[in-house]
Amino acid sequence: MLEESREELMRFMLLFSRQGKLRLQKWYLATSDKERKKMVRELMQVVLARKPKMCSFLEWRDLKVVYKRYASLYFCCAIEGQDNELITLELIHRYVELLDKYFGSVCELDIIFNFEKAYFILDEFLMGGDVQDTSKKSVLKAIEQADLLQEEDESPRSVLEEMGLA
């Protein structure tokens, strides 16, 4: 892959808890499993060690990490050095808003038990590491449509409830 000096490309997004449990990961650049694990472990350590009120940006390896903590969850994006940090910070916030709107006051458990929804919402919002649509309405409309399709498919049980009852 050819890197550009002024290209806006998110490398990955991670959600992890204060206890260091990974809750969601999305990689936008092919990375081997081994490397992913190593990066996740290393980065979680760095971020969890930071104190509140510290700056939301840090240089890590050859990347810039933008993170923000919401309740017990850290949302963490790795971007390239030239990218706009503040807009990335707000991108995280917009994603949290989307989750919040969809789940209704989202919490860590929602993301654990409805991880597939968390992914679908992220995918409607970002694609290949780039913003696809910043309108809250558009993204949620797409997700609602998908939910309708799901209900047409089958009785309205969440996938995980089905799994739980299996």
Distance CA 13, CA 10 (A): 8
Nearest distance, CB of residue 10 and another protein, angstroms: 11
Positions 128 through 157 that interact with another protein (CB under 8 A) = 128-138, 142, 145-146, 149-150, 152-154
CA distance 153 to 159: 12
Nearest distance from C-beta of residue 83 to another protein, angstroms: 9
Nearer to another protein among residue 48 and residue 90 (C-beta): 90
Residue 74: phi and psi, rounded to 5, are -100, 130
Q: Which positions from 29 through 68 interact with another protein, judged by CB under 8 A? A: 30, 32-33, 53-59, 62
- The site for another protein, by CB under 8 A, has a size of 81
CB of 74 to another protein, least distance (A): 13
**Which residues from 82-111 bind another protein, rule CB under 8 A?**
84-87, 89-91, 93-94, 105-110
- Please state, in angstroms and rounded to a whole number, the distance separating the CA atoms of residues 85 and 78: 10
Q: Retrieve residue 75's tokens.
A: 């949302």
CA dist 65 and 47 (Å) reads 9
